Structure 1
């Protein structure tokens, strides 16, 4: 499969939004990629940009007594088809140990916007040892079942929906 491309203008706008998120939330984005249909090579003219990232906060945030009660997700407003959201590194690492399908897709995305350090590469090396194949199969079979239930019997179903109903694998 050819590597999907994102126009320079869109990349620039995504970069601006990510910088804005870093400033607004006081975080540093370590890794950012495109997720969903564009990353899988199934983009259609009406596809949005699913921008996903992993970030870290200042050390004091992690050392506080109430870290368990703090929000570990950043969701930016969707504007002009660009949907940016991310997880704190602590959350991402926890979900990695739980064989989170979305995170594994992020790590394997061919479209990357930010890579500071080698977080993604290190996790990809660990993945074969950490992934529970049965859990991953359940994740995608559940996703396929839900999509089938939602779309069976409809006279029109977007081709993209059938192509991505069980994830990129």
Structure 2
């Protein structure tokens, strides 16, 4: 599949007259627990030619294959490919956008060219905002807990939609860094040995075995932990007071340098 993904990336470059700087896996495969029929959630960052940016009109800054954009070659139906234009990505990086930071930490890199991504990684710790990331993960955890885990019967995979952001929040509290994208790294570090950890281990094994859509009686030990930690993180985020230097000038220069490196 990787060979096909790279083929798709190169065709996107040709069809849309751009250069791709980076492409990675961002979904359950990157999290470390894909099911047998999981999609490939490919995310990429790209840059246009200089003249594209010299316009009085704001232009569309995403590419979505096969959603809103077509491609001149056949794309595997398991592929979901979406990209952000570089200035959009840099604005989100400035805001410490968690999905983007997760892309940069993906262990499944399909394609990387030029020096831009390595330069972003080099300044990640300077830009990282615990407050911004905590709010993101807390909002995700609260919404998913409310929507998926309140019924008497719950699908196995839905637990991970709440466990993952809660544990990411706990990681930020303890380490003040971007959490690893791999679920098990965060899980093993944040949950102590005991009945809770054993229950999650069993769920994880079953999800990997393809049982993720099974409806089963709600697991109280997990629900109680999640409810308690969501309440705790809501209070914790109010206490965070960390100032960060505005990286705009640095990111502006990175953008200009990228244009020169890619198109000169």
TM-score by length of 2: 0.56
Deviates more, 1:14-23 or 1:34-43: 14-23
Contact 1:77 1:83 in 2 (8 A): yes
Paired positions, count = 157
Partner Cα separation in structure 1 for residue 132 and residue 13 of structure 2: 33
Give distance in 1, aligned partners of 2:11 and 2:114.
21
Post-superposition offset of 1:125: 1.6
Q: Do the aligned residues in 2 keep the contact of 1:32 with 1:54 (CA within 8 Å)?
A: yes
Q: What residue number does 1:4 align with?
A: none
Aligned to 2:110: 113
What are the residue-to-residue correspondences of 1:27-46 with 2, within 5 Å? 27-46=18-37
Structure richer in helix, relative to its length? 2
Question: SS of 2:155's equivalent?
Answer: coil
The partner residue of 1:157 within 140, 145, 155 is 155
SS state at 2:10 partner:
helix
- Determine whether 1:99 maps to 2:96: yes
CA apart distance, 1:123: 1.1
> Conserved in 1, the CA contact under 8 Å of 2:45 and 2:86?
yes
The alpha carbon displacement at 1:150 in A equals 1.4
Where 1:156 maps in the other structure, the secondary structure is strand
Cα distance, 1:28 vs structure 2: 0.6
* Structure 2: distance between partners of 1:125 and 1:149: 37
8 Å contact 1:76–1:85 — kept in the other structure? Answer: yes
User: What does residue 223 of structure 2 align with?
Assistant: none
Q: How does 1:42-61 map to 2 (within 5 A)?
A: 42-61=33-52
Alpha-carbon offset, residue 119 of structure 1 = 2.1
In structure 1, distance between residues paired with 2:149 and 2:4: 37
Alignment of 1:133-144 (within 5 A): 133-144=130-141
Cα distance in 2 between the residues matched to 1:144 and 1:55: 30
Alpha-carbon distance between aligned partners in 1 of 2:15 and 2:146, rounded to the nearest angstrom? 40
Counterpart pick for 2:2 among 7, 11, 22: 11
* Kept after mapping to 2: 8 A contact 1:37/1:164: no
Q: Distance in 1 between matches of 2:140 and 2:80?
A: 21
Match of 1:62 among 36, 39, 53: 53
- Tell me, which stretches of 5 or more residues in structure 1 are unaligned? 1-9
CA positional deviation for 1:164: 4.2
Residue aligned with 1:84, SS: strand
Shift of 1:15: 1.5
Question: C-alpha distance in 2, partners of 1:116/1:48?
Answer: 24
Provide the C-alpha distance between the structure 1 equivalents of 2:86 and 2:36, rounded to a whole number of angstroms: 33
